[in-house]
Amino acid sequence: MEAKAFEQSEPGGESHPRYALTAEQIHSAVKDVLATSQFIDMHTHLYSPAFGKIGLWGIDELLTYHYLEAEFFRYSAMTPEQYWSLSKAAQAEAIWQALFVDNSPVSEATRGVVAVLTAFGLPTDASGLTEARTFFRSQAVEEHIPKVLAMAGITSVVMTNDPLDAEEQLVWMKGIEPHPQFQAVLRLDRLLREWSEPWAMLAGQGYAVDNQLAGKSMAEIRRFLTDWCKRMAPVYMAISLPDSFQFPEDTVAGKILREAVLPSCREFNLPLSTMIGVRRQVNPRLRLGGDGVGRADLRALENLCLNYPDNRFLVSVLSRENQHELCVYARKFNNLMPFGCWWFLNNPSVVEEITRERIEMLGTSFIPQHSDARVLEQVIYKWRNTRHTLTPILTETYRSLARDGGKVTRQGIQRDVHRLFCSNFTEWTGR
Ligand code: FIX
Ligand code: ZN
Q: How far is the CA of 385 from the centre of ligand 1 (A)?
A: 19
Q: How far is the CA of 326 from the centre of ligand 1 (A)?
A: 19
pTM for the whole structure: 0.96
Indicate which residue's Cα is closest to atom 3 of ligand 1. Answer: 240
Given a contact cutoff of 8 angstroms between Cβ atoms, the answer to whether 168 and 160 are in contact is no
User: Quick check: bond before 348 cis, omega within 30?
Assistant: no
Nearest ligand, CA 343: 1
Q: How far is the CA of 36 from the centre of ligand 2 (A)?
A: 26
* Among 44, 45, 245, 341, residue to substitute to test ligand 1 (most atoms within 8 Å of Cβ): 45
Pairing label, strands 272-279, 292-293: antiparallel
**Number of other CB atoms surrounding residue 10 within 10 Å:** 10
Angle between helix 108-119 and helix 66-75 axes, rounded to 10 deg: 120
Q: What is the pLDDT of residues 54-107, one digit of tens each?
A: 999 999 999 999 999 999 999 999 999 999 999 999 999 999 999 999 999 999
Q: What is the pLDDT of residues 385-404, one digit of tens each?
A: 999 999 999 999 999 999 99
Question: Among candidates 393, 390, 431, which has minimal Cα distance to 40?
Answer: 431
Q: What is the pLDDT of residues 199-237, one digit of tens each?
A: 999 999 999 999 999 999 999 999 999 999 999 999 999
Alpha helices in 138-261 (DSSP H): 141-152, 166-174, 196-204, 217-232, 252-256
Q: What is the pLDDT of residues 140-149, one digit of tens each?
A: 999 999 999 9
Q: How far is the CA of 214 from the centre of ligand 1 (A)?
A: 32
Q: What is the pLDDT of residues 236-278, one digit of tens each?
A: 999 999 999 999 999 999 999 999 999 999 999 999 999 999 9
> Residue 11 has what pLDDT?
46
Q: What is the pLDDT of residues 157-189, one digit of tens each?
A: 999 999 999 999 999 999 999 999 999 999 999
CA separation for the pair 13, 161 (Å, rounded): 49
Binned at pLDDT 50, 70 and 90, residue 3 comes out as very low
Question: Among candidates 291, 193, 305, which has minimal Cα distance to 247?
Answer: 305
Q: What is the pLDDT of residues 109-154, one digit of tens each?
A: 999 999 999 999 999 999 999 999 999 999 999 999 999 999 999 9
Does the beta carbon of 344 lie inside 6 Å of ligand 1?
no
Does the beta carbon of 288 lie inside 6 Å of ligand 1?
yes
Mean pLDDT calculated for residue range 306-313 = 98
Q: What own/partner pairs with CB < 8 Å and gap ≥ 24 does 83-88 have?
A: 84/287, 88/60, 88/61, 88/64
CA separation for the pair 300, 246 (Å, rounded): 5
> Residue 194 has what pLDDT?
87
Binned at pLDDT 50, 70 and 90, residue 7 comes out as very low
Binned at pLDDT 50, 70 and 90, residue 13 comes out as low
> Residue 14 has what pLDDT?
67
pLDDT of residue 4 exceeding 50: no
Given a contact cutoff of 8 angstroms between Cβ atoms, the answer to whether 235 and 179 are in contact is no
Indicate which residue's Cα is closest to atom 12 of ligand 1. Answer: 343
Does the beta carbon of 374 lie inside 6 Å of ligand 1?
yes
Pairing label, strands 186-187, 182-183: unpaired
Q: What is the mean pLDDT of the chain?
A: 96
Indicate which residue's Cα is closest to atom 11 of ligand 1. Answer: 372
Q: What is the pLDDT of residues 336-360, one digit of tens each?
A: 999 999 999 999 999 999 999 999 9
